[in-house]
Chains A and B, each alone.
Chain A
């Protein structure tokens, strides 16, 4: 299975303005750049996901897949509001078979999250940061950074902007 897991699973982490992810529903398409591995270069990618929030907007599940020219990988995530502007998330990817836990805060229309469990790539543990912003009313952007544990520099592995499918 192609190693697009590290980045791709997070590429769909949060939609639009963070406050809107729990309102977002249906099919969304992400366009942008993905790295197919922790040390791989960025390349063009596309994601297609289905977003299904619960009616009370405290819980949202996102399932779909992300593709680069060389392959495609299924992904799944669930995000929960835990009160006091705190959010927790769990992300799974078919490419790695791993689920990574995240925790962070909602500040206005943005979400900032940090991984609370490591992602193992070639037996090297990696930590991760995810930021979600809302450049306009119809889209949201996600940037994800990754670094090996103990390293100083963060690497950009996802830069993806989502729009409603067919919109």
Chain B
């Protein structure tokens, strides 16, 4: 009767969790939140916000690259003209910046369209364009010198409630018109790019990725559980906990109003692999409890591994909590969500597996499953023999581990932060390819911008000259290049164009220069050179010239700070985990030793990133921090087994050996779950997710090896002194 009541309560709690998960999933939303990443209290972000409020930025510009054998061909000109006229009728398209909008001076000093209508014969138009390309920097920014490529910039609005859908409709309509343009004249190709297209692509990829990552994670967990337990039924019984945990993790995003974005997308799959690992540990422990009554055996098994599972969740939560201190709002949000979902996950998996296994225990087919498992113990794929290697030469391996840790830490500390706006795109991404083709064939796309609190063309011209000198660019743009200055800009240009030169309140002007974006480091170096040159210009004394900004500069400055924070988070996580183990076991020496096998994977990968020149990118830095928290799981299960065997108060070599022997198959299995469960990330469309997965998987593999080799060796050599003289040979 008591068991029935217990089961009733367990099922009631489980049903509540299911309802929470389902109702939350229904409210989930996806958003790239690409720009929110930089939302912080840093001065560089404040500068950018002030710039965005005063001027029109390029973050809403759809960039269309038109390529043709010769853009002077009348049929091509007519097709492009058709596109431009129609594109401006697409709701939300506010302007069209293209060579067709340019004017040229006639012989009598009047101005006429660069592209007359009807279009003249190809030879005439070609001569006209070649002459203009030589004399007009505005055309050089929009058309290649060989007349084979042209850029059209279409600023779009995003003022609707559902930005994602609005943006998607606008881009879809422009794509349709682009296809029509491409088919209107022979040899013409059209490709869209720009930040709105990038954001749409990232948002689409997020939806695909989360389905794929979760699906692969569940399938992998299931297959590994079947092969480990050698039973389809036991494999199936391993699944409910992880599935519930991942559903709840996604559902909590919905309830808390946190979008699945390029940061938080990694959380569900992390929860999934952690929960699968917990579930496998419960399965192993349940098989050890085979001699007891079914319900009692299940409760006891869950109780015995619960502490290690909870501690593993807490160590992961500590890593996330460290991230939650970031000045980047979106990173801090990911940290907070990470804490919530990892802690929720462990309790969900413990509750679900207790309920499911206890219920299954009421059926006759259940107990024999574990009898069979006892007869054929779970296999550790050969890796379970690694500890024997460690016990063969513990002193050598322990010192080797420490030496390796020292060297790799030194190298890791030399790895500088690396950041690129293109980090979320794979090299093969069509958007990235178009960006690169535009830069290669026509003109750089990225902009450096300097706000000047003056509308005096002479002063602005001085700023423009300094910028031109530092950058070596002839394409610096400001009101200094507009005959008639601010008045003409305000009267003659469409709003989205005028606001790129003069602020909304009319008190500031903007000097901007396109530059070829390589990475954050080079961008910052260029920005610093411009800042220094402007500060040193005597003609600008008393003129309020703002700091160099723009999306690439701001993102590079913020990224540098945030990447340092991520590294600091790793140190916080490291300290937190050490303290946690110390408090749990009451033994500082064991706690410090336990850190060695968990620091090693991180420092080794950090050293590799430094030596290969890759540096610490967002995805790498995040993965190292989060994976560290997850990887501690193995160590905790070793220490838990040592504790259960009485090895903490009565530390000796035999107990270490015994603990490692017992837990090794589970460690191997759960590590395979972690590695292969994250394997789906390699197929992710989002490059950041893919990079995150690669680093996390490498951490898990190295952590397993370190836990099976370095940890036992270090425990034997550096373990509590008072018992070291009693060490016995393993039996």
Contacts and interface: CB of A to CB of B under 8 A. Distances in A.
Interface of A: 1-3, 33, 40-46, 48, 65, 67-72
A1 B85 contact: no
B494 A2 contact: yes
A70 B98 CA distance: 8
Nearest to B81: A44
Contacts of B117: 33, 42-44
Given A44-B81, A69-B98, A69-B101, A3 B491 contact: yes
B400 interface: no
A71 B113 contact: no
Nearest to A42: B117
A70 B85 contact: no
A67 B88 contact: yes
Contacts of A45: 85
Among A41, A67, A70, the one with the most B-chain Cβ atoms within 10 Å of its Cβ is A70
B104 to A, nearest CB: 11
Given A69-B98, A69-B115, A2 B493 contact: yes
Task: In the A-B complex, list the 9 residue pairs whose CB atoms are closest, starting with the nearest.
Answer: A70-B101, A44-B117, A69-B100, A46-B85, A71-B494, A72-B88, A67-B88, A41-B112, A43-B113
B645 to A, nearest CB: 78
B89 interface: yes
Nearest to B103: A41
A35 to B, nearest CB: 11
B113 to A, nearest CB: 5
A1 B495 contact: yes
27 contacts: A1-B494, A2-B492, A3-B492, A33-B117, A41-B112, A43-B116, A43-B117, A44-B85, A44-B117, A45-B85, A48-B89, A65-B89, A67-B84, A67-B85, A68-B85, A69-B81, A69-B85, A69-B98, A69-B115, A70-B96, A70-B100, A70-B101, A71-B88, A71-B95, A71-B101, A72-B88, A72-B89
A42 B493 CA distance: 17
A154 B16 CA distance: 80
Which interface residue of A2, A45, A71 has the most chain B CB atoms within 10 A? A71
Nearest to A40: B111
Contacts of A42: 117
B89 A70 contact: no
Nearest to B492: A3
A41 B113 contact: yes
Contacts of A69: 81, 84-85, 96, 98, 100-101, 113, 115
A56 B209 CA distance: 59
Interface residues of B, number: 23
A1 B113 CA distance: 18
B110 interface: yes
A131 B116 CA distance: 25
A19 to B, nearest CB: 29
A46 B86 contact: yes
A75 B111 CA distance: 26
Contacts of A70: 96, 100-101, 494
Contacts of B110: 41
A63 B86 CA distance: 17
Contacts of B98: 69
Interface of B: 81, 84-86, 88-89, 95-96, 98, 100-101, 110-113, 115-117, 491-495
Is chain A's interface secondary structure helix, strand, loop, or mixed overall? strand
Nearest to B86: A46
Nearest to B495: A1
A107 to B, nearest CB: 31
Contacts of B86: 46
A42 B116 CA distance: 9
Contacts of A44: 81, 85, 117
Contacts of B115: 69
A31 B85 CA distance: 10
Nearest to A73: B494
Contacts of B116: 43
A48 B87 CA distance: 12
Contacts of B492: 2-3
A69 B495 CA distance: 15
Contacts of A46: 85-86, 89
Contacts of B491: 3
B631 to A, nearest CB: 57
B301 to A, nearest CB: 70
Nearest to B113: A43
A43 B104 CA distance: 13
A56 to B, nearest CB: 31
A45 B101 CA distance: 12
A128 B330 CA distance: 58
A70 B84 CA distance: 9
Q: Which of B116, B117, B495 has the most CB of A within 10 A?
A: B117
B177 to A, nearest CB: 13
Nearest to A2: B494
A14 to B, nearest CB: 21
B96 A71 contact: yes
Nearest to A3: B492
Contacts of B494: 1-2, 70-71
A46 B117 CA distance: 13
A93 B383 CA distance: 78
A53 B670 CA distance: 74
B303 to A, nearest CB: 71
A41 B111 contact: yes
A11 to B, nearest CB: 13
B89 A67 contact: yes
A48 to B, nearest CB: 6
B470 to A, nearest CB: 31
B379 to A, nearest CB: 70
A48 B89 CA distance: 8
A68 B494 CA distance: 12
Nearest to A37: B492
A71 B86 CA distance: 11
Contacts of B100: 69-70
Given A43-B116, A69-B98, A72-B89, 18 more contacts: A2-B494, A3-B492, A33-B117, A41-B112, A41-B113, A44-B81, A44-B117, A45-B85, A46-B85, A46-B86, A46-B89, A67-B84, A67-B85, A69-B85, A70-B100, A70-B101, A71-B88, A72-B88
Determine which residue in A42, A48, A68, A69 has the highest number of CB atoms from chain B within 10 A of its CB, and name it.
A69
Contacts of A72: 88-89, 95
B136 to A, nearest CB: 15
